[in-house]
Amino acid sequence: MNPLAHRPFVKMNGLGNEILVLDLRADPVEVPPAAARALARPGVLPFDQAMVLYPPRQPDTRAFVRILNSDGSFSSACGNGTRCIAALEAQATGNPHVRFESEAGLLECLVLPDGRVRVDMGPPRFAWRDIPLARDVGDTRAVFLPGFEGLGAACLLSMGNPHAVFFVEDAGAMDVAGLGAALERHPLFPERANISFASLLAPAHILLQVWERGAGRTRACGTAACATAVAAAATHRTGRAVTVTLPGGDLDIKWREDDSHVLMTGPVTHEFSGTLTAAMLEEAA
């Protein structure tokens, strides 16, 4: 019997970014990549990211969070998923202030009176080793990727995971799947990268399309929205507070003046709850 069988799950989404929540704090077991791929199959529990909760390592946090993409790869950060688990934890405890641990560091969350959730995603990182990149490219805010120079310069940075942001005339007209699949695995990105195509709709409004590493084209990506807002401000296209419109809806992003905090605010949706079965996991054996 698979050790994950009979474990409860919650299916949620953040602006259409499909999230699977597995709370394993009471009885921790590993969720191997094969299990993630099995669960993400069409007709089972298709998701973009799985947020797996383990016992906290620090006394002032609610859980240590591991994140798996639908292809079984691991991610260090997921903004939409963090909003989902923060909403669940706030509902369970009655406390709107929630703190989690993750591979990317501490995640401070606040459920607002209107039901939206604000997450402090921490600082952006521009140093080439922190993103990481395969080599020093100089100014990471303006990098022409070999083979894709026609797209213009990309802003490369980390929001706990690697991002490449291209500012284009019409993000809605881009071949997101074709370009994203190729750019995700560009030799410059040793850990692959999230690929974003952004266009300015107004001085504080950005249209965004995202190819997410390990998940493909997605209706929303919180870390990509944060990376895009930071890239826009860092390249003097916008101020530090913007609304980012993705196919799934809007996220409000603010990059504080001290450069150390990027705040993301947006809604979450509870879809359904259930229990994992051996049949769901059968291809993970």
Q: pLDDT (tens digit, 9 = 90+) per residue, 67-83? A: 999 999 999 999 999 99
Residue 188: domain span: 149-260
pLDDT at site 104? 86
Task: Tell me whether residue 133 is in a domain.
Answer: no
User: Degrees (nearest 5) of the Cα angle 111, 85, 132?
Assistant: 105
pLDDT at site 285? 55
- Mark whether 204 and 178 lie in a shared domain: yes
* Residue 272 burial (C-beta neighbours within 10 Å; 0-12, 13-18, 19+): exposed
**Spans of the chain below 50 pLDDT:** none
Other beta carbons within 10 Å of 64:
18
Active-site hit among 84, 109, 221, 226 = 221
How many domains does the chain fold into?
2
- Mark whether 251 and 272 lie in a shared domain: no
In which residue are the tokens 């669940």 written?
88
Whole-angstrom distance, CA of residue 2 vs CA of residue 218: 30
pLDDT at site 275? 97
Active-site hit among 78, 109, 155, 226 = 78
Tell me the whole-structure pTM to 2 decimals.
0.93
Task: Tell me whether residue 127 is in a domain.
Answer: no
Does the annotation count 155 as an active-site position? no
Task: Tell me whether residue 157 is in a domain.
Answer: yes
- Mark whether 255 and 272 lie in a shared domain: no
Does the annotation count 221 as an active-site position? yes
Whole-angstrom distance, CA of residue 268 vs CA of residue 187: 35
Whole-angstrom distance, CA of residue 177 vs CA of residue 118: 29
- Mark whether 40 and 107 lie in a shared domain: yes
Q: What is the pLDDT of residues 139-190, one digit of tens each?
A: 999 999 999 999 999 999 999 999 999 999 999 999 999 999 999 999 999 9
* Residue 111 contacts residue 96 (beta carbons within 8 Å): yes
* Residue 141 contacts residue 131 (beta carbons within 8 Å): no
